[in-house]
Amino acid sequence: MIYHLFEFLKDFDIPGKGLMHYLSFRALAAVTFSMLLSFFAGGKIIAWLQRKQIGETIRNLGLEGQMQKKGTPTMGGIIILLSLLVTVLLFCDLTNIYVQLLLITALWCGGIGFCDDYIKVFKHNKEGMSEKMKLILQFILALGIALIFCFSSKIWGDAPKELVTTIPFVKSNEFDYSWLSPFKGQLGMYFSWGIYVVMIILVILACSNGTNLTDGLDGLASGTSAIVGVALGILAYLSGNLLNSDYLNIMYLPGTGEIAVFLAAFVGALIGFLWYNTFPAQVFMGDTGSLAIGGIIGVSAILIRKELLLPLLCGIFLVESLSVLMQKYWFKYTRHRYGEGRRIFLMAPLHHHFQKKGMPEPRIVSRFWIIGIILAVATLALLKIR
């Protein structure tokens, strides 16, 4: 609203009115305001959650210090979403299609997570919403985002629709999905767009659920997500600036600079939340936060056409997800073949494996953060390696 207010007053002689035209200023203002709002509102929301006795239900998995977390307020993702949404409404250009898609993503995924947490806490159902229902709702969002992104005139304008995305190590940093089509002509074009839509859906589902699986230790998901958010924000800012994108020889995508402001608000909300979420956590984000965070990361990467960089940038989420899949299917395979299920890890996701080995929780989280920073720096650096 502040951005649009200054736009309305642009013809008036007001000192500093031009600042709102600078993405860098609005991004700095957004990260600061969102962080402070998350910090100050967080304490009041946590107190409210405690009064309502909205606490985490803990299953005893034999992990050190696990049962001490019983009763810790959950659904803290409300803090993240509140801070993010208020800041975006104040500092972002709400007419921008990219901002609109990210707002829809945050509300939709946050709503799914909220319903799941509500069932767990108030219906006393530890399983929450069924995995099938969550996947169906996530799929609906992902399909909608894919179709809007691929066919919206607000995104493409009069420009030709090109199935090009970013990859490292090659001269132009570009990969064309049409190369995957075995057909030529019109049929080949339809096939290529189908592949692109499927890729978008897979990315959104993978990011949302990968973040959810990573949310198992105090500060782990929020800290690593903030690191990813910073990297994506930098890429969005560079992609939306003609001079910077030309200098760095990366894709120029008009309008994506607003994503940088959105992600600045996103990172600020996570940092403010992290004040209360670090060990020992005063609040857990719950699925309300984790599903929304993953959805925002996935959609942001798609909008700036950096989805193929996510396996590196979101390496923590990828490894956590793979550890669960490997554990699950290896156990089933060995039980079928040998009559007794065997495990690859002491426990999955991977962070619990290290807990089982006796590593203190803060050390695991800190080391995962360090790895996340290394992966983020590598992702940015690899764009200049041809």
Tens-digit pLDDT profile for residues 326-337: 999 999 999 988
Of residues 52 and 142, more confidently modeled: 142
Of residues 206 and 3, more confidently modeled: 206
Strands 164-166 and 174-176: what pairing?
Answer: antiparallel
Q: Give residue-wise pLDDT tens across range 150-189.
A: 888 777 665 556 788 888 766 677 888 888 888 887 888 8
Mean pLDDT over each residue of the chain, to the nearest integer = 87
Name, in order, each residue with C-beta under 8 angstroms of 137's C-beta and a sequence gap of 6 or more: 108, 112
Do 93 and 386 contact (CB within 8 A), yes or no?
Answer: no
Specify the DSSP element, H or E, that contains 175.
strand 174-176
What integer pLDDT is reported at residue 309 of this predicted model?
Answer: 92
Name, in order, each residue with C-beta under 8 angstroms of 61's C-beta and a sequence gap of 6 or more: 347, 352
Instruction: State yes or no: pLDDT of 34 exceeds 70.
Output: yes
Peptide bond into 349 cis (omega under 30): yes
What integer pLDDT is reported at residue 302 of this predicted model?
Answer: 95
348 vs 341: CA distance, rounded Å = 15
Average pLDDT over residues 132-154: 91
Instruction: State yes or no: pLDDT of 32 exceeds 90.
Output: yes
Quote the distance between the C-alpha of residue 67 and its chain's center.
29
Amino acid identity at 141: L
Name the pLDDT band for 219 (thresholds 50, 70, 90): very high
Strands (E), the chain: 164-166, 174-176
Lowest mean pLDDT among 43-52, 121-130, 145-154, 364-373: 121-130
Lowest mean pLDDT among 102-106, 190-194, 312-316, 364-368: 190-194
Name the pLDDT band for 51 (thresholds 50, 70, 90): confident
Amino acid identity at 94: L
> Hey, where are the domains in the chain?
23-54+68-310
3 vs 153: CA distance, rounded Å = 24
Tokens of 290: 């984790």
CA 162 → CA 45, 174, 199, 204, distances in Å? 45, 11, 15, 20
Tokens of 301: 């990467």
Average pLDDT over residues 130-159: 86
Lowest mean pLDDT among 16-30, 64-78, 121-135, 228-242: 64-78
Tokens of 198: 């499927």
Do 317 and 368 contact (CB within 8 A), yes or no?
Answer: no
Name the pLDDT band for 14 (thresholds 50, 70, 90): low
Of residues 175 and 317, more confidently modeled: 317
What integer pLDDT is reported at residue 386 of this predicted model?
Answer: 57
Of residues 15 and 194, more confidently modeled: 194
Classify residue 72 as left (phi > 0), alpha (psi -120 to 50) or beta: beta
What integer pLDDT is reported at residue 121 of this predicted model?
Answer: 83
Do 30 and 91 contact (CB within 8 A), yes or no?
Answer: yes
130 vs 134: CA distance, rounded Å = 6
What's the CA dihedral at 188, 143, 379, 260 to 10 degrees? 120
Average pLDDT over residues 304-314: 93
What integer pLDDT is reported at residue 60 of this predicted model?
Answer: 56
Taking only Cα atoms into account, the Rg of the chain, rounded to an integer number of angstroms, comes to 22
Average pLDDT over residues 193-198: 90
Q: Give residue-wise pLDDT tens across range 76-114.
A: 999 999 999 999 999 999 999 999 999 999 999 999 999
Name, in order, each residue with C-beta under 8 angstroms of 247's C-beta and a sequence gap of 6 or more: none
Lowest mean pLDDT among 223-232, 246-255, 286-295, 348-357: 246-255
Instruction: State yes or no: pLDDT of 59 exceeds 90.
Output: no
Q: Give residue-wise pLDDT tens across range 246-305.
A: 887 788 888 899 999 999 999 999 999 999 999 888 999 999 999 999 999 999 999 999
Strand partners, 55: 73
212 vs 333: CA distance, rounded Å = 25
Average pLDDT over residues 340-364: 91
317 vs 9: CA distance, rounded Å = 44
250 vs 233: CA distance, rounded Å = 15
